[in-house]
């Protein structure tokens, strides 16, 4: 029997008290697309970082084509033929594709003949794998989908035989996902091996031939993809059966409680990012805002929550004008009026990561009773409260005294959600509520949002996950280049149609 191209034996790795990987054994055969699926915090990314040489395992061995290798740094793994396409691209924005790929690889400056040869090699690679990249274009002009291809091309050029893709579709439109999958299939046909890390079951079913499931740092199952289905995989991931479809009754619409009129917003660089946008939300309604990252959703959310200055236009909260050009309403006053905001970027905005968990659980509400009285923080009350909500929202580990940066992404998100939802807001602005959150928690978060809606809250859901927008929203707006380019009632729309709108095509 041929030895597998990549074999991991008894890999262990722990961070502090948390064992991220426990006795991992994994065999990946050449010329396959192998899926690794698991909840966030299941240890997928840690494992792959070990394979890529970013971390070193506490114990265990890694072999490539039957030969044991020592990985001390990413350089070693590149030399062993392992290439990684990160979630966040490692490209120099103002360099061309060619410069980005050649840079730092040759170990010397590349001029003249050498550059010509490199260019020819790259062109050949592009043709073989139908990457369709113009080597002379500057990275900043390329869409996210193309940048990802540049990363793939970079790995190819460096001689990678094994490609690790970490959540590659998170930032792509459905059409871009299709293109990516085509490329991955053609890589496979040429005998390359692909390891696909994802938490999306659809991708696993679509693309992979084998799948390994991770849960709490362990591999809990290996199977041929053809022998399983989504429900079974989800159950394995979570360790119990999971509801993939939401139970949702039709919305009972109330009055308009939130209205945006001709809103225009600029970003920090004075570029207009939200252009004359108007919409309204009724109580008891979830309005989904779909769109590819960077089309103005971030700035819109910030303006609506009082963080960013409004250039022109008005915002009405229960018919009360709360913001206009002159009047930047401060987030705390909006909170008092019943508006809560779950920001898109939890680390940058939603949390102070150096704070202890209990300090973050009252963040923004810290001057309200019972958390503080006459400006003195009531630690014991805060901690009692924290324990309660951590229990309720299943934040792990349940230690209010732990520094927040030691929690996993999904648990950090739960800290924010529990804080913002606990005040039963009338209007809830939610950005990417389940980004980097595991399936079990997604189900939980979605159910909470529906419950809030049923209790009469008006919810604006901004998400780049189409599935999420589709499964939660009653009405959907699509944003492209700062404009609302489409409004659809959820029942009547397909993800294809939304995808085209998101790409600015329709």
Partner 1 sequence: MTNAVDKSKVPWWVSNLIVPLVNLVLALLVSALFIFIAGENPIKAVKLIIYGSFGYLDGFAYTLYYTTNFVFTGLAFAVAFHCRLFNIGGEGQAYIGGLGVFLVAINVSFLPVPIVWLLAIAGAVVFGAAWAFIPAYLQAKRGSHVVITTIMFNFIASSLMVFLLVDVIRDMKQMGPHTVALPKEIWFPTFKEFAALFGIKIRYSPLNISFLLAIAASFFVWFLVWKTKWGYEMRAVGHNTQAAIYAGISPYKNIIIAMCISGGLAGLLGINEILGVHHKIVAGFPAGYGFTGIAVALMGRNHPIGIFPAAFLFGILYQGGSEVTFDMPNITRYMFVAVQGVIILFSGALENLFRPQIESFFVNRLNRKVSV
Q: Is the dihedral of CA 230, 231, 236, 242 positive or negative?
A: positive
How many angstroms separate the Cα of 502 from the Cα of each of 292, 297, 345, 462, 466?
Answer: 6, 12, 21, 13, 10
**CB of 436 vs partner 1, minimal distance in Å:** 17
**CB of 378 vs partner 1, minimal distance in Å:** 9
Residues 83-118: b if buried by 16+ CB within 10 A, e if exposed: bbbbeebebeeeebbbbbbbeeeeeeebeeeeeeeb
Residue 337 or 448: the one with the smaller Cβ distance to partner 1 is 337
Residues sharing a CB contact under 8 Å with residue 413, sequence separation 6 or more, in sequence order? 346, 433, 434, 435, 436, 437, 441, 445
229 binds partner 1 (CB under 8 A): no
| Contact status, residue 80 vs residue 251, Cβ threshold 8 Å | no
| Contact status, residue 320 vs residue 408, Cβ threshold 8 Å | no
**CB of 187 vs partner 1, minimal distance in Å:** 27
Residue 4 or 350: the one with the smaller Cβ distance to partner 1 is 350
Report d(CA 168, CA 174) in Å as an integer.
12
**CB of 358 vs partner 1, minimal distance in Å:** 11
What track of x and - describes contact with partner 1 for positions 54 through 83 (by CB under 8 A)? Answer: xxx----------------xx---------
**CB of 350 vs partner 1, minimal distance in Å:** 7
What track of x and - describes contact with partner 1 for positions 256 through 275 (by CB under 8 A)? Answer: --------------------
Compute how many residues bind partner 1; rule: CB under 8 A.
38
**CB of 147 vs partner 1, minimal distance in Å:** 24
42 binds partner 1 (CB under 8 A): no
Q: Which of these, 451, 341, 435, lies nearest to 392 by C-alpha position? A: 451
**CB of 404 vs partner 1, minimal distance in Å:** 10
From 367, 394, 454, 481, residue interacting with partner 1 (rule: CB under 8 A): 367
**CB of 273 vs partner 1, minimal distance in Å:** 17
Report d(CA 36, CA 198) in Å as an integer.
6
15 binds partner 1 (CB under 8 A): yes
What track of x and - describes contact with partner 1 for positions 163 through 202 (by CB under 8 A)? Answer: ----------------------------------------
Q: Which of positions 326-365 make contact with partner 1 (CB under 8 A)?
A: 330-335, 341, 343, 348-355, 359, 363-364
What track of x and - describes contact with partner 1 for positions 291 through 330 (by CB under 8 A)? Answer: --------------xxx----------------------x
Q: Which of these, 436, 506, 483, 433, lies nearest to 286 by C-alpha position? A: 433
Residue 223 or 406: the one with the smaller Cβ distance to partner 1 is 406
Report d(CA 149, CA 183) in Å as an integer.
9
| Contact status, residue 341 vs residue 462, Cβ threshold 8 Å | no
Do the bridges between strand 82-85 and strand 458-462 make them parallel or antiparallel, or are there none, so unpaired?
unpaired
Residue 186 or 368: the one with the smaller Cβ distance to partner 1 is 368
| Contact status, residue 139 vs residue 91, Cβ threshold 8 Å | yes
376 binds partner 1 (CB under 8 A): yes
Report d(CA 38, CA 36) in Å as an integer.
7
| H or E stretch covering 378 | none
Residue 161 or 420: the one with the smaller Cβ distance to partner 1 is 420
Residue 247 or 374: the one with the smaller Cβ distance to partner 1 is 374
Segment lying near partner 1 (by CB under 8 A), choices 50-58, 185-193, 246-254, 386-394: 50-58
Report d(CA 444, CA 246) in Å as an integer.
10
Residues sharing a CB contact under 8 Å with residue 467, sequence separation 6 or more, in sequence order? 202, 495
95 binds partner 1 (CB under 8 A): no
Residues sharing a CB contact under 8 Å with residue 73, sequence separation 6 or more, in sequence order? 53
From 69, 103, 377, 470, residue interacting with partner 1 (rule: CB under 8 A): 377
372 binds partner 1 (CB under 8 A): yes
CB pairs under 8 A, 24+ apart, for 224-233? 225/35, 229/205, 230/201, 230/202, 230/205, 233/37, 233/201, 233/204
Q: Is the dihedral of CA 239, 416, 265, 474 positive or negative?
A: positive
Q: Which of positions 413-442 make contact with partner 1 (CB under 8 A)?
A: none
Residue 56 or 124: the one with the smaller Cβ distance to partner 1 is 56
Residues contributing to the site for partner 1 (CB under 8 A): 15-17, 54-56, 73-74, 305-307, 330-335, 341, 343, 348-355, 359, 363-364, 366-367, 372, 375-377, 379, 406
């Amino acid at each position: 029997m041929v030895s597998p191209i990549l074999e991991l034996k008894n890999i262990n790795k722990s961070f502090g008290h948390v064992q991220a990987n426990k006795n991992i054994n994994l065999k990946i055969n050449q010329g396959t697309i192998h899926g690794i699926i698991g909840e966030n915090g299941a240890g997928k990314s840690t494992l792959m970082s070990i394979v890529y040489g970013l971390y070193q395992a506490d114990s265990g061995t890694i072999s490539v084509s039957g030969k044991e290798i020592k990985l001390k740094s990413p350089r070693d793994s590149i030399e062993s033929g392992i290439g990684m396409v990160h979630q966040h691209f490692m490209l120099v924005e103002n360099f061309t594709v060619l410069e980005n790929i050649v840079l730092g690889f040759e170990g010397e400056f590349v001029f003249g003949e050498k550059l010509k040869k490199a260019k020819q090699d790259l062109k050949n690679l592009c043709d073989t794998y139908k990457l369709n990249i113009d080597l002379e274009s500057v990275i900043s002009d390329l869409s996210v989908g193309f940048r990802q291809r540049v990363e793939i091309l970079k790995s190819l050029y460096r001689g990678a035989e094994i490609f690790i893709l970490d959540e590659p579709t998170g930032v792509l439109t459905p059409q871009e996902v299709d293109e990516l999958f085509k490329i991955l299939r053609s890589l496979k046909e040429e005998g390359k091996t692909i390891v696909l890390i994802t938490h999306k079951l659809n991708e696993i079913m679509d693309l992979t031939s084998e799948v390994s499931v991770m849960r709490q740092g362990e591999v809990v199952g290996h199977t041929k993809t053809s022998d399983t289905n989504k429900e079974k995989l989800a159950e394995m991931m979570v360790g119990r059966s999971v509801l993939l479809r939401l139970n949702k009754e039709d919305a009972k619409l109330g009055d308009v409680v939130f209205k945006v009129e001709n809103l225009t917003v600029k970003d920090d660089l004075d570029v207009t990012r939200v252009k004359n946008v108007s919409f309204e939300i009724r109580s008891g309604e979830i309005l989904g805002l779909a769109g590819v990252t960077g089309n103005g959703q971030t700035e819109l959310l910030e303006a609506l929550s009082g963080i960013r200055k409004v250039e022109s236009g008005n915002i009405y909260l229960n018919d009360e004008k709360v913001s206009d050009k002159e009047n930047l309403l401060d987030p705390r006053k909006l909170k008092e009026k019943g508006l809560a905001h779950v920001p898109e970027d939890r680390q940058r905005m939603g949390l102070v990561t150096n704070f202890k968990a209990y300090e973050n659980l009252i963040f923004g509400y810290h001057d309200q009773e019972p958390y503080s009285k006459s400006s003195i923080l009531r630690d014991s009350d805060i901690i009692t409260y924290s324990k309660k909500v951590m229990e309720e929202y299943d934040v792990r580990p349940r230690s209010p005294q732990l520094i927040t940066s030691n929690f996993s992404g999904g648990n950090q998100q739960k800290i924010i959600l529990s804080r913002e939802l606990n005040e039963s807001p009338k209007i809830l602005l939610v950005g990417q509520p389940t980004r980097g959150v595991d399936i079990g928690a997604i189900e939980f978060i979605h159910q909470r949002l529906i419950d809030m809606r049923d209790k009469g809250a008006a919810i604006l859901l901004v998400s780049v996950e189409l599935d999420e927008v589709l499964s939660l929203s009653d009405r959907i707006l699509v944003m492209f280049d700062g404009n609302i380019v489409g409004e659809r009632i959820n029942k009547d729309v397909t993800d294809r149609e939304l995808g085209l709108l998101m790409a600015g095509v329709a």
